[in-house]
A and B are shown apart, each in its own frame.
Chain A
Amino acid sequence: MRKDTDFFILVFSVGLFVCTNIFLMASGKLPISFNGFGIVLGAGLTLAIYSFLYKDNPAFKIAENLYVGVSLGYTIIIVWFNFLKPDLYDPLIVPFFSEAAKTPQYTLLVPSLLGIFMLLRFSRNLAWLSRWTFAFVVGLGAGISIPRVISAFILEQIKPSLRPAFTGGETILSSIDTLLILLGVTSVLIYFIFSLEHKGTIGKVSKVGIWFLMISFGASFGYTVMARVSLLIGRVQFLLKDWLGILQ
């Protein structure tokens, strides 16, 4: 009985979708062109994915897997045209076959080799070579980040937290805010020190830290709701405007 109902809903939905598109194209609201069919495909995929809200179903899974495949294909092609071709193929390979080109940039052999070593992690015997690449990447990452993180994220962030609460010209409220920020930063940092037992004064200060954290999590929750709703609005705008032509 349940299966019959689901089958009926599927047939009805597909039928309605087809009829709507025939109407839209016949009435000239959607152009009969590549772009017109593209919009139909986009609307179909959008609705197929939303069908998940009713229950998990084949239309949703097909749309989801097709999306994964197309994104994968797109990424590979973009990587070719934007990275492999201009950064390796053109400066390193082309000069061997074309007299007009400049001499090959042999230094590029080093990162290419390291890149190939990384791909060897799928080989049984040579997987250890990928460690050289990871060591290079991780070592470089550690080296460039130490001074920059200290400067940009630690010193630059401590500076405004320690600014004078009153230098003249501020309102009392803004001076209180400055002190509150200092209190918040300190108490949150103390809350995160787990090597100290949270008892006595430390315990009290870390409690204040929790209150600051809770307010900020509340703010983050509010903003997360905002973000998800915005995405939904965008998709409904696409359906109502680009596909159905209801919105101007």
Chain B
Amino acid sequence: MERFLRIDRRIIFAIIAGAVIISLILQFELPIPGSKPVLAVYKKIESIPENSHVMIAFDYDPSSKEELQPMAVAFLHHCFSRNLKVIAMTHYPGAPGLVEQALNAVAGQYGKEYGEDYAFLGYKPGGASLIINMGENLYTAFPKDFYGNDTIALPILQGIGSLRDIDYLFDLAAGTTIETWIVYGKEKYRFEFGAGCTAVMGPDMYPFLQSNQLNGLLAGLKGAAEYEALINKKAFAVSGMRSQSVIHAIIILFVLFGNIIYFMSRRTRHA
């Protein structure tokens, strides 16, 4: 019996790879109802008046791109379709290329203009200090945008002096930046705050949801898929849910099978 537990792990790898490929190729629809934390973000964007300022912090890099880039794209679709002004920035030096890719792709579809309807302030080191600096004065924190334009001259930033003037801040996080934004930003500058994060961090965010320090949360590719479904722009995340379902089922079967063999072989040994 125990030899089943000692099979070459490459067989397990092959099963996983095969299952992902097949479930992506086969087209079948699965229901993706919006969960409460995702709906909260969606409703917030729906409720903000046109031309309000939404700041998006793209706090991730290529290593978490597969979870957070679809989320970023879906969220941008919603913001631009609602004619909100989008200000982007990042705490990660590996992020700018991904930010440009997402912004340019989505803004183009809605005929949005750089500087008027959206802007990318770029990357800055500093973490907590950067957030406080932005909370006190956005222009000393970001004297120039990513392309070298003076931020003070950008039409999109008219009427914005600091984080206090932002109508909604949305952090796409692969690390601990949500906590940093809450402690050093929201705590003092009182902006409305929502977030999207990798699934690994999802469970850690629930205390902030209940305390309303986070108004809503998109966790992992599932969060992105729910958002895509809500705004009716089904893309990468929704189609990924097929494979996600299949692989979860397979892993659960692995766990059950492994445990059954474990208990059976233990009983045989005791007998």
Direct touch of chains A and B (CB < 8 A): yes
Chain A residues packing against B (C-beta within 8 Å):
53-54, 71, 74-75, 78-79, 81-83, 85-87, 90-91, 140-141, 144-145, 148-149, 151-153, 156-157, 159-160, 181, 216, 219-220, 223-227, 229-237, 240, 246-247
| In-complex Cβ contact of A78 among B96, B129, B212 (8 A) | B96
- Considering the chains assembled together, what is the distance between the CA atoms of A115 and B183 in angstroms? 26
Residues of chain A lying within 8 A (CB to CB) of residue B16: 232
| In-complex Cβ contact of B66 among A160, A219, A234, A246 (8 A) | A234
- Considering the chains assembled together, what is the distance between the CA atoms of A74 and B200 in angstroms? 26
| In-complex Cβ contact of B143 among A79, A86, A149 (8 A) | A86
- B243 near A82: Cβ-Cβ < 8 Å: no
Q: At the interface with chain A, which of B20-28, B76-84, B106-114?
A: B20-28
The verdict on B196 contacting chain A, using a C-beta distance below 8 Å, is no
Residues of chain B lying within 8 A (CB to CB) of residue A234: 65-67, 70, 221, 236, 240
- B183 near A152: Cβ-Cβ < 8 Å: yes
Q: Which residue of A lies closest to B95 (CB)?
A: A78
Q: Which residue of B lies closest to A225 (CB)?
A: B251
- Considering the chains assembled together, what is the distance between the CA atoms of A234 and B244 in angstroms? 11
- A148 near B203: Cβ-Cβ < 8 Å: no
Q: Give 7 CB contacts A-B under 8 Å.
A: A81-B148, A148-B188, A152-B187, A156-B211, A229-B244, A236-B21, A247-B239
The verdict on B55 contacting chain A, using a C-beta distance below 8 Å, is no
| In-complex Cβ contact of B20 among A159, A223, A236 (8 A) | A236
Residues of chain A lying within 8 A (CB to CB) of residue B125: 79, 83
Residue of B66, B94, B146 with most partner-chain A CB within 10 A = B66
Knowing that A181-B210, A220-B200, A246-B25 touch, tell me 7 more A-B residue pairs with CB under 8 angstroms: A90-B143, A216-B203, A219-B203, A227-B220, A233-B24, A236-B17, A236-B24
| A230 with B199, Cβ < 8 A, contacts A78-B96, A91-B143 known | yes
Residues of chain A lying within 8 A (CB to CB) of residue B152: none
Residues of chain B lying within 8 A (CB to CB) of residue A233: 20, 24, 66, 221, 240, 243-244, 247
Can you list, as one digit per residue, whether each of B1-25 has a CB less than 8 Å from chain A (1) or not (0)? 0000000001001001100110011
The verdict on B123 contacting chain A, using a C-beta distance below 8 Å, is yes
- B211 near A160: Cβ-Cβ < 8 Å: yes
- A74 near B94: Cβ-Cβ < 8 Å: yes
Residues of chain A lying within 8 A (CB to CB) of residue B146: 81-82
- A232 near B67: Cβ-Cβ < 8 Å: no
- Considering the chains assembled together, what is the distance between the CA atoms of A159 and B247 in angstroms? 40
- B123 near A78: Cβ-Cβ < 8 Å: yes
Residues of chain B lying within 8 A (CB to CB) of residue A220: 200, 203-204
